[in-house]
Amino acid sequence: MKIGVFVCHCGSNIEGTVDTAAVAAAAREFPGVAFATDTMYTCSEPGQEEIVNAIKEHQLDGVVVASCTPRMHEQTFRRTVERAGLNRYLFEMANIREHVSWIGKDREANTNKATDLVRMAASKLLHNRPLLSKQFDINKRVLIIGGGVAGIQAALDCAEGGLEVVLVEKTTTIGGKMAKLDKTFPTVDCSCCILGPRMVDVAQHPNITLYAYSEIEEVSGYVGNFDVKVKKKATYVDWDKCTGCGICMTKCPSKKATDYFNEGIGKTTAINIPFPQAIPKKAKIDADFCMKLQKGKCGICAKVCPSGCIDFTQQDEFVTEKVGAIVAATGFDLFDWTVYGEYGGGRYPDVITSLQYERMLSASGPTGGHIKRPSDGKEPKNVVFIQCVGSRDKSVGRPYCTGFCCMYTAKQAILTKDHLPESQTYVFYMDIRATGKNYDEFTRRAMEEYNAKYIRGRVSMIYPKGDSLLVRGADTLMGTQVEVDADLVVLAVGAEAAAGAAGLAEKLRISYDSYGFYMEGHPKLKPVETNTAGVYLAGSCQGPKDIPSSVAQGSAAASKVLGLFSKDKLASDPQVSVVDIKRCIGCGKCMKTCPFGAIKEIDFRGMKKAEVIETVCQGCGICTSTCPQGAAQLQHFTDNQILSEVNALCQF
C-alpha cells in the first residue's frame, strides 16, 4: 500500500503547539508511507485538492489526515478520497487537535504524541479494505414524540410534506406548556389563540395519527425501519365514542382531583377534559379520585353520558407502529422550587410559580382571569417577582440559565398592571437576559411604561407578616438591604429536563447531558440531529427554549426528516460484522450476545454457521469480541486493525 499523510496546521490551532512539519517528516519513515506533507487547512477547498492531486501524482492507495476529530471531518475527507477514485474506507484520521494541540502546550510532547497518532493511523490503514454499502428499503413514516409546540410544528411540516405522521403525547391533550400560557412575549399575543388553530390542524390533518395519553414503551430497529411499541394508557373512556360534550364533568361528584393543567391552582373533577380547546377533546377519568374505581360506588358519569362511552374496565393497550424516522420533542418540566427554604419551601400559599400565575391570568383558568391570592382570594396590591429560581444556581445543581424567565417575568409584570392598575410590581433579578428580537425593548417597557421596580439582587428570606409576606433581599446596585411588603410572590421557576427524559433516551439510544437534556449531533452544525441515525430533536428536550426557537427547531427537524425520506432507499453503513465461514464453528455465542438479532444461523454443508444480516447489523462489534476464534470480524475495526494500533504504540 502507498500511503499519503497530510498533517494539518488548522491555522494556528494545531501548528501553535505541534510541529506539523516534523510530524510529516517522521511519517515519511513509517511503513507504507509514500508521501507526507503538512498543509494549512486540509479541509479547505485547496487543502482537499492537494489530497486529490497527491493521490493521482503519487499513485496513493490510502490516505491519513492528521487534523481535527474524525467526528468533525471524517465524512468530508472520505468524500475527498472518493473523488480521487479511492474507496472511502481507505482513509484514516489522526485526531491531533482535540486530543493533542488543544489540551496541552508542551510543543515537544505534543509533536511526539501527534507523530504517535499518525503512526497508529498509518498502521491501521495498512489493514483497511475497500468497503461498499448496500441499499435498503425505508418506511417513509415519522414518529413524533411530544405534542407541545415543537412537536406540533414538526408534525404539521412533515404531514404537509406528504409524510404519514404518528404523534404520541403523554397527556390527554396536545399543546404542551404553550397551551397553559395566557399571553406570549414580546407581542402579548393570546397564547391559546395562536396555538389553538395549529392544534386543530393536527387533529384534522389526514396524514397525522394522534395517540394522546400514550407513551413510548419500546423502540427497536434502525434508521428507515424502526418498530415502535406505543402504550395507550387506560382513560376509562372510549374515545371513539366520546364527543367531548362535558356533561360528565358537570355531574361528577368527586371534585377534589388534582388539576394538572391548571398547575394545582384549584381542583377539578375526577372525570375531566383539561381545557376547552383540548385536542383531542376527550374525557379521561383520574383513577386516583374516581369513586367508582376506588370504592366501586358511583358510576354517575356512565349514567349521564349520552354516548355511553364510559368503560370502567378499560386496560392499557399496546399498538406497534413502523416508522423510518423519529423526532423527540418531549419538552421540559419545571424545577421543584420547594428545595429553597428561604422562599418558604412551599409553606406559604401566596408564594406561587410563574406558570401558576399564568393560569391565574388566563381567562379560561380557574380564577377566570382574575388575580387572586390563593390564601384569601383577595386582589394583591404589591406583587413581587423573584427571578432565577432553579436557574444559574450551582447550589441546587442547576448552573445553567433557563433563558426565557427574564422575558416572561417582564410580560407578567406588564399583565399585572393591566389586570390591576392600582398594583405595584417588584422584580428581583440577577441580570436581565433579553437577547431576542424586540426583547430588550419589551423589558424596558415593563420598567418604564408599567413602572415595574427592578431590584438587582437575590432574596434572602420570605416570611409572613400579618396577612401579607415580607420579602427581604439585597439591592446590589445600591449596596443596601431592601424589604418589600408583598401580597403575592411569583417565582420565575427554571426549566429542567422532562421527567422520564433519560428513560426515553435509553429507548431511543441517544445521549443526554448531566441535566437530562438530549445531546445534539454537533453543538453548532447539527442542532437537531442526534448521533443516532434517524432520530432528531426539536424544542426544549435539547435545552430550554422559548416559543420561536422551539417552532424553528420543529421545522428544522421536519426538514431533516423530509430530506432523509427524499430518497427511496438508504445506503447501509458497510462497517458491519462479517463472519468468516471457514473459521466459524457454529457455537452461536455471537447470536446470543447481538443486541439487534442481526446474526442468524445457517446450514452450510450440514454444519451450523453464523451469518450477519448486513442491513440489520449496527456495527457495535460485540460479536467480534465474543467470538473466541475471531471468525466474526467487525469491518473497519477488525482484530488486526486494532492490534496493529496496539503494536504501533507499544514498541519497546
Partner 1 sequence: MPVLKGKELRIVGFLCNWCSYGGADTAGVGRFNQPTDLRIIRVPCSGRIDPLFIMKTLMNGADGVLVSGCHPRDCHYAEGNFYARRRLEVLHRFLPILGFEPGRFEYTWVSASEGQRWQQVVTRFTEQIHKLGPAPKIAGPEASATLRQMEAVL
Partner 2 sequence: MKYQQELKDSIRKALPGLDVVIAWSAGYDPLHATPHFIRREEDIDRLEIGPFSVHNLATYLPGLRGKKVGIVVKGCDSRSVIELLQENLINREDVTIFGFPCTGVVDQTKIRKALGHTGKVDFCQIASQTVVIGAGGEEHKLRLSKVLADKCFSCQYPNALISDHFVGEKISPSAQTEGGDDLEAFENMPLPERFAFWQKEMDRCIRCYACRNACPMCVCRDHCLAESRDPHWLSQEDSVRDKWMFQLIHAYHLAGRCTECGECQRACPMDIPLLLLKKKMNKEIKELFQYEAGVDPEATPPLLSFKMEEENIKEREW
Query: What is the contact surface with partner 2 in residues (CB under 8 A)?
Result: 582-583, 585, 587-589, 592-593, 606, 626, 628-631, 633, 638-640, 643
Work out whether 197 is an interface residue with partner 1 (CB under 8 A).
no
Residue 588 contact among partner 1, partner 2, none, beta carbon within 5 to 8 Å by kind: partner 2
- Distance between CA atoms of 187 and 264, rounded to whole angstroms? 27
Q: Which stretch binds partner 1 (CB under 8 A): 280-288, 308-316, 346-354, 500-508?
A: 500-508
Q: Which of 2, 11, 31, 256 binds partner 1 (CB under 8 A)?
A: 31
3-state class (DSSP) for residue 6: strand
Q: Which of 593, 611, 613, 614 binds partner 1 (CB under 8 A)?
A: 593
Q: What is the DSSP string of 240-284?
A: TT-----HHHHH-S---EE-TTTTTSSEE-SEE-S-TT-SS---E
Question: 369 is written with which cell numbers?
Answer: 382571569
- Distance between CA atoms of 137 and 5, rounded to whole angstroms? 38
Question: 215 is written with which cell numbers?
Answer: 407513551
DSSP H helical segments within 370-404, as ranges?
none
* Residue 587: closest CA among 638, 619, 631, 533: 631
Residue 182 contact among partner 2, partner 1, none, beta carbon within 5 to 8 Å by kind: none
Q: Are residues 541 and 518 in contact, defined by beta-carbon separation less than 8 angstroms? A: yes
Residue 441 contact among partner 2, partner 1, none, beta carbon within 5 to 8 Å by kind: none
Residue 592 contact among partner 2, partner 1, none, beta carbon within 5 to 8 Å by kind: partner 2
User: How far are the Cα atoms of 95, 522, 614 from residue 532, in angstroms, in the given order?
Assistant: 22, 12, 18
Q: Which stretch binds partner 1 (CB under 8 A): 97-105, 141-149, 234-242, 412-420?
A: 97-105
The reply to whether omega before 186 is within 30° of 0 (cis) is yes
Which lies closer to partner 2 via its Cβ, residue 190 or residue 602?
Answer: 602
Q: From the CB of residue 582, how many other CB atoms can be counted at a distance below 10 Å?
A: 8
Which lies closer to partner 1 via its Cβ, residue 6 or residue 222?
Answer: 222
Question: 515 is written with which cell numbers?
Answer: 441535566
Residue 622 contact among partner 2, partner 1, none, beta carbon within 5 to 8 Å by kind: partner 1
Cell 384549584 belongs to 266
Work out whether 180 is an interface residue with partner 1 (CB under 8 A).
no
* Distance in Å, CB of 79 to partner 1, minimum: 19
Which lies closer to partner 2 via its Cβ, residue 347 or residue 592?
Answer: 592
List Cβ<8 Å contacts ≥24 apart for 617-620.
617/576, 617/577, 618/222, 618/576, 619/573, 619/575, 619/576, 619/577, 620/595
Q: From the CB of residue 523, how many other CB atoms can be counted at a distance below 10 Å?
A: 8
Q: Which of 41, 84, 102, 209 binds partner 1 (CB under 8 A)?
A: 102
Q: Which stretch binds partner 1 (CB under 8 A): 351-359, 392-400, 606-614, 618-626?
A: 618-626
Question: 472 is written with which cell numbers?
Answer: 427581604
Which lies closer to partner 2 via its Cβ, residue 338 or residue 647?
Answer: 647
Which lies closer to partner 2 via its Cβ, residue 475 or residue 601?
Answer: 601
Q: Are residues 397 and 367 in contact, defined by beta-carbon separation less than 8 angstroms? A: no
Name which of residues 392 to 411 contact partner 1 (CB under 8 A): none
Residue 629 contact among partner 1, partner 2, none, beta carbon within 5 to 8 Å by kind: partner 2
Work out whether 41 is an interface residue with partner 1 (CB under 8 A).
no
Which lies closer to partner 2 via its Cβ, residue 268 or residue 638?
Answer: 638
Name which of residues 109 to 128 contact partner 1 (CB under 8 A): 109-110, 112-113, 115-117, 119-120, 123, 126-127
Residue 652 contact among partner 2, partner 1, none, beta carbon within 5 to 8 Å by kind: partner 1
Which lies closer to partner 1 via its Cβ, residue 7 or residue 547?
Answer: 7
Work out whether 131 is an interface residue with partner 1 (CB under 8 A).
no
DSSP 8-state code for residue 394: G
Cell 427554604 belongs to 341
Residues in the chain: 652
| CB contact set of 281 (below 8 Å; sequence gap of 6+) | 173, 244, 273
User: What is the binding site for partner 1 (CB under 8 A)?
Assistant: 1, 26, 31-32, 69-71, 95, 97-100, 102-106, 108-110, 112-113, 115-117, 119-120, 123, 126-127, 502, 505-506, 509, 511-514, 519, 531-532, 575, 593, 595-596, 618-622, 624-626, 634, 637, 639-640, 642-652
